[in-house]
């Protein structure tokens, strides 16, 4: 366990302890309190990070209540990331382009500053394991939901210039492609209908799953990936702290390089941590103690 790294602050708060947290519905599954409290404790920073079960109709009340209590900042997860946009006094460029807020910092004057650190988390985890440039790679992205917007922004900012966007509801892929093509006119983003049985994988260098498939304990991923070339990288933004994701099992069986969503989770948290505290999260410690599968 982690006892040797725990300072007294992890157990005791005092009159100067500052408040951080995460708002979600549901929230009980969240790993963010562990990630942040371990890091705060290790660096002996006098903050506590708590989970808050905030229902959608109470989001604005919760935000203003948190601010009234002198909270320093909070993360947001499903279903609050998009509704938070309209409650912010300022938005960073990533939150604007993604159209969602996952991190809020409350300034001393009460100003609510919205950030999105998901794209940073995605690309930082990718670069940890993949040293090649993204330019001239054929990248297939599955899904076109909220999480996909952060992934697209990250890929485009990193120089990707050929992305196929496959979604069951093809109109959503078309809307997303046209939205991002507008911001990144030199990139080819091709929307297609996701047909798991017919999709051509033979020329794909990087396959990214941003759908929620695998998030709810499914055993199988409905795609046959045998066609992928041996050099292909498979990146599933789904994660499980204890087991392999269904797509991970497939990638392993083919001997393909694989990244799951844990790195993205840790690095988006690390960026939020840095925004609130000005300090670097001890990422290696977090990986070792919370995610050693």
Binding footprint of ligand ATR, residue count (CB under 6 A)? 13
- Antiparallel, parallel or unpaired: β 112-115 and 103-106: antiparallel
Q: How far is the CB of 196 from ligand ATR (least distance, A)?
A: 8
Per the CB < 8 A criterion, the answer to whether 286 and 292 are in contact is no
Q: Please pick, from the candidates 145, 203, 243, 288, the single residue that binds ligand ATR as defined by CB under 6 A.
A: 145
Q: Which residue is nearest to ligand ATR (CB)?
A: 145
Sign for the CA dihedral angle at 8, 272, 29, 48 comes to positive
Please enumerate in sequence order all residues whose Cβ is within 8 A of that of 281, keeping only pairs 6 or more positions apart, or say none.
35, 39, 266, 269, 270, 273, 274
Q: How far is the CB of 230 from ligand ATR (least distance, A)?
A: 26
Closest by CA position to 264, among listed 236, 233, 293: 236
Q: Judged by CB under 6 A, which stretch of 19-27, 157-165, 168-176, 265-273 contacts ligand ATR?
A: 168-176
194 or 281: whose CB is closer to ligand ATR? 194
167 or 277: whose CB is closer to ligand ATR? 167
Q: Does 165 interact with ligand ATR (rule: CB under 6 A)?
A: no
State residue 188 phi and psi, 5-degree precision. -95, 115
Q: Does 83 interact with ligand ATR (rule: CB under 6 A)?
A: no
Q: How far is CA 48 from CA 8, 17, 133, 199, in A?
A: 12, 7, 39, 47
Q: Does 79 interact with ligand ATR (rule: CB under 6 A)?
A: no
Q: Judged by CB under 6 A, which stretch of 38-46, 132-140, 179-187, 210-218 contacts ligand ATR?
A: 210-218
Summarize as ranges the residues that interact with ligand ATR (CB under 6 A). Answer: 143-148, 167-169, 172, 211-213
């Amino acid at each position: 366990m982690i006892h040797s790294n725990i300072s007294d602050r992890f157990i005791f708060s005092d009159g100067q302890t500052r408040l951080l947290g995460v708002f979600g519905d549901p929230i009980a599954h969240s790993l963010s309190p562990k990630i942040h409290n371990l890091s705060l404790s290790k660096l002996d920073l006098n903050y506590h990070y708590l989970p808050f079960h905030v229902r959608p109709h109470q989001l604005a009340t919760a935000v203003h209540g948190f601010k009234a209590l002198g909270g320093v900042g909070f993360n947001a997860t499903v279903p609050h990331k998009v509704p938070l946009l309209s409650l912010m006094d300022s938005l960073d460029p990533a939150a604007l382009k993604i159209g969602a807020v996952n991190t809020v910092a409350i300034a001393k004057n009460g100003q609510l500053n919205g950030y999105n650190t998901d794209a940073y988390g995605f690309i930082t985890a990718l670069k940890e394991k993949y040293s090649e440039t993204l330019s001239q790679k054929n990248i297939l992205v599955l899904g076109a939901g909220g999480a996909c917007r952060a992934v697209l922004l990250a890929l485009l900012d990193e120089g990707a210039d050929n992305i196929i966007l496959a979604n069951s509801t093809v109109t959503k892929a078309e809307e997303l492609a046209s939205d991002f093509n507008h911001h990144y006119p030199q990139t080819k983003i091709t929307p297609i209908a996701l047909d798991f049985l017919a999709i051509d994988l033979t020329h794909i260098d990087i396959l990214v799953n941003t759908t929620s498939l695998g998030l709810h304990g499914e055993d199988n991923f409905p795609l046959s990936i045998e066609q992928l070339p041996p050099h292909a990288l498979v990146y599933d933004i789904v994660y499980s702290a204890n087991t392999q994701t269904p797509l991970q099992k497939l990638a392993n069986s083919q001997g393909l390089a694989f990244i799951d969503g844990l790195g993205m989770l840790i690095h988006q948290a690390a960026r939020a941590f840095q925004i609130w505290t000005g300090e670097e999260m001890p990422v290696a410690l977090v990986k070792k103690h919370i995610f050693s599968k």
